[in-house]
């Protein structure tokens, strides 16, 4: 795999290595693939939510507005670990409309790594496991960052790991009740 351009990009791929290695190890121990995906997603969420809580804390302490919390935290995360120097690192376009922050990722090193593993070693459902953890965390993660006790601060219709050309993320300052992670 091509050398990645930043420490943050490399860190995210390293965490993906652990995700896929743990998933494949469970499969070797004959854990049902669905259960293995759920275990990986649950363990990963524990780590991810803890990191989001810490990275968003300064903004949750200094801003009452959920939109500002999201904008500031996502801005910070786009500097580290998701800085976007372009492929082979993260490639992202970012803009704001009112309380909503949009990020359209067109390259994701962790997702590219999983695809490379599948090409090299065969598919064990790895991309499916990756999607059910990494690609679904942002729905609940946005609510953690917003910190207003409401759900629905995030929407996405397309994702690279499902074969789309973009992860079309919208971080909503005002929660959209009834939004779904699927």
143: its two tokens: 């609510």
Fold held by 7-172: Muramoyl-pentapeptide Carboxypeptidase; domain 2 (3.30.1380)
CA distances from 128 to 11, 108, 133, 146 (A): 21, 16, 9, 28
Neighbours of 38 (CB within 10 A): 15
Alpha carbons 181 and 28: distance in angstroms, whole number: 29
pTM over 0.85: yes
pLDDT on residue 176: 80
Q: What backbone torsions phi and psi does residue 147 show, to the nearest 5 degrees?
A: 60, 30
pLDDT on residue 178: 58
| pLDDT digit string (tens) for the chain, length 182 residues | 568 999 999 999 999 999 999 999 999 999 999 999 999 999 999 999 999 999 999 999 999 999 999 999 999 999 999 999 999 999 999 999 998 999 999 999 999 999 999 999 999 999 999 999 999 999 999 999 999 999 999 999 999 999 999 999 999 999 986 554 44
Alpha carbons 70 and 101: distance in angstroms, whole number: 8
């Amino acid at each position: 795999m091509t050398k990645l351009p930043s420490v943050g990009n490399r860190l995210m791929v390293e965490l993906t290595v652990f995700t896929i290695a743990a998933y494949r190890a469970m499969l070797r121990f004959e854990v049902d693939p669905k259960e293995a995906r759920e275990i990986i997603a649950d363990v990963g969420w524990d780590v991810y939510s803890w990191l989001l809580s810490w990275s968003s804390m300064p903004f949750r302490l200094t801003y009452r507005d959920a939109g500002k919390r999201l904008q500031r935290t996502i801005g910070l995360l786009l500097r580290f670990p998701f800085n976007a120097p372009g492929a082979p690192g993260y490639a992202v376009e970012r803009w704001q409309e009112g309380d909503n922050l949009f990020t359209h990722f067109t390259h994701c090193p962790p997702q590219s790594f999983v695809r490379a593993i599948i090409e090299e070693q065969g598919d064990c459902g790895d991309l499916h496991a990756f999607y059910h953890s990494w690609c679904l965390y942002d729905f609940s993660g946005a609510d953690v960052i917003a910190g207003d006790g409401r759900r629905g601060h995030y929407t996405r219709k397309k994702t690279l790991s499902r074969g789309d050309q973009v992860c079309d993320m919208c971080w909503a300052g005002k929660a959209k009740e009834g939004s779904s992670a699927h």
